[in-house]
Structure 1
Amino acid sequence: MASHNDLGFKGEAIAKAFLEKQGYEILDENWVHGKAEVDLIAYLNRQIIFVEVKTRTSVAYGMPEDFVSETKQKQMDLAANEYIELMNHKGEIRFDIVSVLFDKQNNYTINHIEDAFWPS
Structure 2
Amino acid sequence: MNAQQSGKLGEDAACVYLKKKRYAILARNYRKRFGEIDIIAQRKSKIVFVEVKTRSGAGYGMPSEAVDYYKQQKIIKTAQSYLLEHRLDGEIAFDVIEVLLSGGKVLSVNHIENAFIT
Report the TM-score range of the alignment, normalised by the length of the smaller protein. Answer: over 0.9
Offset at residue 71 of structure 1 (A): 1.1
Equivalent residue, structure 2, for 1:98: 97
Q: TM-score, normalised by structure 2?
A: 0.94
Say which SS state the counterpart of residue 31 (structure 1) adopts: strand
- How many corresponding residue pairs? 118
Say which SS state the counterpart of residue 114 (structure 1) adopts: strand
Distance 1:106 1:89 in 2: 36
Q: Partner letter of residue 114 of structure 1?
A: E
Q: Share of identical aligned residues, percent?
A: 37
Distance 1:103 1:10 in 2: 11
TM-align CA RMSD: 1.4
Q: TM-score, normalised by structure 1?
A: 0.92
Distance 1:32 1:85 in 2: 14
**Matching of residues 13-52 of structure 1 within 5 Å:** 13-52=12-51
Q: Partner letter of residue 62 of structure 2?
A: M
Q: Partner letter of residue 61 of structure 2?
A: G
Offset at residue 87 of structure 1 (A): 1.4
For structure 1, which segment, 99-108 or 78-87, has the greater mean C-alpha deviation from structure 2 after superposition?
99-108
In 1, are the aligned partners of 2:96 and 2:112 still within 8 Å (CA)? yes
Distance 1:106 1:100 in 2: 10
Q: Partner letter of residue 117 of structure 2?
A: W
More strand by share: 2
Equivalent residue, structure 1, for 2:56: 57
Offset at residue 103 of structure 1 (A): 3.3
Q: Partner letter of residue 27 of structure 2?
A: D
Equivalent residue, structure 2, for 1:82: 81
